[in-house]
Amino acid sequence: DAKTTQPTSMDCAEGRAANLPCNHSTISGNEYVYWYRQIHSQGPQYIIHGLKNNETNEMASLIITEDRKSSTLILPHATLRDTAVYYCIVRPTGTASKLTFGTGTRLQVTL
């Protein structure tokens, strides 16, 4: 699976948009970009995924660059409950595959 690179930590003021970047320069054509988050002492929670096009759901938006070498997860109005570690993962589809997490970005939302 392709490797991802994320900043170790980020801060965001409550109510502002949180933009979390991820580099995946070795991504293959059949690999999706997934985002998960892990709130302290809980299991990771799926947020969103995409292949080429930008995606939006009730939790977040995912912006993937045209060359697919990087992406940004956007939380439009961050709240204190969004404080968590956010993981960006690339994973092939079509076959069973292991799901490997990196170290993620620790997002701290502050008042």
Partner 1 sequence: SQTIHQWPATLVQPVGSPLSLECTVEGTSNPNLYWYRQAAGRGLQLLFYSVGIGQISSEVPQNLSASRPQDRQFILSSKKLLLSDSGFYLCAWSSWGGRSGTEAFFGQGTRLTVV
Of residues 15 and 102, the one with the C-beta less far from partner 1: 102
- Gap between the Cα atoms of 88 and 3, Å rounded: 10
Q: Does 82 bind partner 1 (CB under 8 A)?
A: no
96: amino acid identity, one letter: A
Neighbours of 95 (CB within 10 A): 6
Strands 105-110 and 9-13: parallel
Q: For partner 1, which residue of 3, 11, 57, 102 counts as binding (CB under 8 A)?
A: 102
Q: Does 44 bind partner 1 (CB under 8 A)?
A: yes
Interacting residues toward partner 1 by CB under 8 A:
32, 34, 36, 38, 41-46, 49-51, 87, 91-104
